[in-house]
Structure 1
Amino acid sequence: MQLYNTLSAKERAALLEQAGEDRLTLSFYQYAKIGNPQLFRNHLFIAWDELDVLGRIYVAHEGINAQLSVPARNFEAFKSFIDGIYFLENVRLNIAIEHDLKSFLKLKVKVRHKIVADGLNDETFDVRNKGVHVDAQKFNELIEDPDTVLVDMRNHYESEIGHFKNAVTPDVDTFRDSLDIIEENLKDHKEDKKLVMYCTGGIRCEKASAYYKHKGFKNVFQLEGGIIEYTRQVQQKGLENKFIGKNFVFDHRRGERISEDVIANCHQCGKPCDTHVNCENEACHLLFIQCEECAKAMDNCCSTECQEIIKLPYEEQKALRKGIPNSNKIFKKGRSEKLKFKK
């Protein structure tokens, strides 16, 4: 029984290009008690592999966090399958604003300790005592209230290319880093201010809102469905859009444009730009912002050092990637000293 991918990302990309069929990019999450995450993981992989579903899915005892690419022709079958799982019936699906055939190139279903790395001990507080969920219209009203503090629960590289107007955007690398920083910065306003939070699809705010209520914040609100659902409601209901720039997404697209504003800059030359790329050197793979001109001049690399490396024979490049010191550098998010105009 196949429980793993048999095609490489390159092979899958070629097949998707050849098929040329419409695919939907979507995400969902659900906190639920899962007794045997490994068994559930295998169940999902078998069913979704048959439906040609691709994506990145995390399963844990506490629930599921899924980001997927589903063939449009198989969407109803996919929806029927998840509705047949008691804790996923009618779960909210965050459908992407922009779709791409190659948003995901493999089906990866992984068992994790947690579905979001929050660093919290869930036994110390009631994770069910969450903040008030608000829709786009109520959210717009709340963030215009002078007694509201609006907080972006995402990381620095996400908010750099797009965020809500007047939002507090912590300069952090991970979600777990932001929790204590936000509490410390707002400790004098636990009773007199409304704490309003948002993230990409809502999952980070689910846990954070319960945590902050446990920490003594009296008025805690969270944007239902995150930026993705907010954008859908704004377009559907004709509401004022208060998000500026791009919404960073965790697939090969790396971003969805929400407004025409470009609020970031190329990390190499400084010109306005909000296109995230990964360094062409696989031993680096740095995520950073790069304009088309710099991409051409730098061979899609973050530095001249990486330019030299990609010119080496493949086996020499592969040898450079070996070892813990090298692997620890991979997937850094725009923090390299080689980037002259980084945030």
Structure 2
Amino acid sequence: MQLYNTLSAKEREALIEAAGQERLTISFYKYAHIGNTAIFRNHLFIYWNEIDVLGRIYVAKEGINAQLSVPAENFEAFKMHLDSISFLEHVRLNIAIEQDNKSFLKLKVKVRNKIVADGLDDDTFDVTNKGIHVDALMFNELIEDPDTILVDMRNHYESEIGHFKNAITPDVDTFRDSLDIIERDLTDYKEDKKLVMYCTGGIRCEKASAYYKHKGFKQVYQLEGGIIEYTRQVKNKNLENKYRGKNFVFDHRRGERISNDVIAQCHQCGAPCDTHVNCANEACHLLFIQCKSCAGQMNDCCSNDCKEIHALPFEEQKALRKGKTVSNKIFKKGRSEVLKFKK
């Protein structure tokens, strides 16, 4: 039985264009105690492959984390399937603010040790013992309270292009880096301050809320549904939008505009810009911020060296990449020394 992709991204892209159907980009997560993760993974792949779901889904003993797209006409079938799974019945679905039919081009359902890497090794830490969820209205009220400490649980390259006003934005590369740093910096406020957290869709700050409760914080809150759901509620309920800039997303779009503020700058020239790109040199693929002017001058590359390599014939580029790994550079996320105006 087929339990893996058989089409390349380019082949899938052509099929999507030929179908001409609207697709919905959706994310959801759920912390739960899953017994046999391999069986659950295969169950999801078999059914979702049949209804043309594409995306990146992680399954672990602690739950599921999914970012995907589904044809709009198959949404009800998809939702009914989720509701047929006991711990996913009525799970909150974050539907993207800005749609893109090509946000995902393959279906990948993978078993992982954790759905959010946290670097923790603590058997007494229960991820389901979470903090208090708040909606957009309550969140707006909480963050104006002088007894509130607002923390962005995302990484530096995410908060760089957008964040809530007055938020603490840790200068970290990964979620696991932020947990101990935040506890250390806020340890004096465990008893008397309200710790309010937010992230993209809620999954990171839900785990963080359980972790900080475990570490002794008395008043722990999280923005339910994250920035994605906050934006929807602000629009639907005509609330004040306290978010500035873009929301970084983990698909081909790389960002959704939440406000007209541009709070970041091009990493190459320093001009106001909040557009993330990957270096066109496949041997580099560095994620960084680049304006249209620099993209034209640099042929979509991060440096002159990469520009020269990208100009070579494909086979020569491929030969240069052979036997080399650049994952350490990719995950610097804009920290490369070649970028003059990096954060």
Runs of 4+ in 1 over 3 A off after TM superposition: 322-328
Is the 2:62–2:127 Cα contact (8 Å) retained in structure 1? no
Is the 1:161–1:263 Cα contact (8 Å) retained in structure 2? yes
Q: Does 1:131 align with 2:116?
A: no
Give the whole-Å Cα distance in 1 for the aligned partners of 2:217 and 2:327.
40
Q: Does 1:291 align with 2:301?
A: no
Give the whole-Å Cα distance in 1 for the aligned partners of 2:316 and 2:61.
42
Look up the equivalent residue of 1:231 and give its one-letter code.
T
Look up the equivalent residue of 2:127 and give its one-letter code.
V
Structure 1 counterpart of 2:149: 149
Structure 2 counterpart of 1:229: 229
Structure 2 counterpart of 1:92: 92
Q: Does 1:339 align with 2:336?
A: no
SS at match of 1:171: coil
Give the whole-Å Cα distance in 1 for the aligned partners of 2:126 and 2:36.
22
Give the whole-Å Cα distance in 2 for the aligned partners of 1:63 and 1:129.
13
Q: Could you state the TM-score of these two structures normalised by the residue count of structure 2?
A: 0.97
Give the whole-Å Cα distance in 1 for the aligned partners of 2:80 and 2:326.
44
Is the 1:283–1:330 Cα contact (8 Å) retained in structure 2? no
Q: Does 1:262 align with 2:255?
A: no
Post-superposition offset of 1:30: 0.8
Give the whole-Å Cα distance in 1 for the aligned partners of 2:239 and 2:264.
25
**CA RMSD, Structure 1 to Structure 2 (Å):** 1.2
Task: Assess, with a 3 A threshold, how the Cα gap between structure 1 residues 323 and 124 changes in structure 2: closer, same or farther.
Answer: farther
Look up the equivalent residue of 1:339 and give its one-letter code.
L
Look up the equivalent residue of 1:64 and give its one-letter code.
I
Q: Could you state the TM-score of these two structures normalised by the residue count of structure 1?
A: 0.97
Structure 1 counterpart of 2:194: 194
Post-superposition offset of 1:206: 1.3
Post-superposition offset of 1:41: 1.0
Post-superposition offset of 1:233: 0.7
Look up the equivalent residue of 1:301 and give its one-letter code.
C
Task: Assess, with a 3 A threshold, how the Cα gap between structure 1 residues 321 and 245 changes in structure 2: closer, same or farther.
Answer: same
Q: Deviations over 1:182-222 (max 9, x none)?
A: 11111111112111000001011111111111111111111
Please identify, of 153-162 and 42-51, the stretch whose mean Cα deviation from structure 2 is larger: 42-51
Post-superposition offset of 1:326: 3.5
Q: Does 1:172 align with 2:167?
A: no
Structure 2 counterpart of 1:114: 114
Is the 1:320–1:326 Cα contact (8 Å) retained in structure 2? no
Give the whole-Å Cα distance in 1 for the aligned partners of 2:225 and 2:59.
19
Is the 2:249–2:256 Cα contact (8 Å) retained in structure 1? yes
Give the whole-Å Cα distance in 1 for the aligned partners of 2:220 and 2:150.
10
- Aligned-residue sequence identity (percent) comes to 81
Q: Does 1:245 align with 2:263?
A: no
Post-superposition offset of 1:31: 1.1
Look up the equivalent residue of 2:145 and give its one-letter code.
D
Structure 2 counterpart of 1:33: 33
Is the 2:276–2:290 Cα contact (8 Å) retained in structure 1? yes
SS at match of 2:88: coil
Post-superposition offset of 1:328: 3.3
Give the whole-Å Cα distance in 2 for the aligned partners of 1:171 and 1:108.
30
Task: Assess, with a 3 A threshold, how the Cα gap between structure 1 residues 86 and 10 changes in structure 2: closer, same or farther.
Answer: same
SS at match of 1:319: helix
Give the whole-Å Cα distance in 2 for the aligned partners of 1:322 and 1:243.
44
Post-superposition offset of 1:17: 2.1
Look up the equivalent residue of 1:56 and give its one-letter code.
R
Give the whole-Å Cα distance in 2 for the aligned partners of 1:120 and 1:229.
28
Structure 2 counterpart of 1:55: 55
Is the 1:283–1:327 Cα contact (8 Å) retained in structure 2? no
Is the 2:329–2:336 Cα contact (8 Å) retained in structure 1? no
Task: Assess, with a 3 A threshold, how the Cα gap between structure 1 residues 152 and 2 changes in structure 2: closer, same or farther.
Answer: same
Task: Assess, with a 3 A threshold, how the Cα gap between structure 1 residues 328 and 82 changes in structure 2: closer, same or farther.
Answer: same
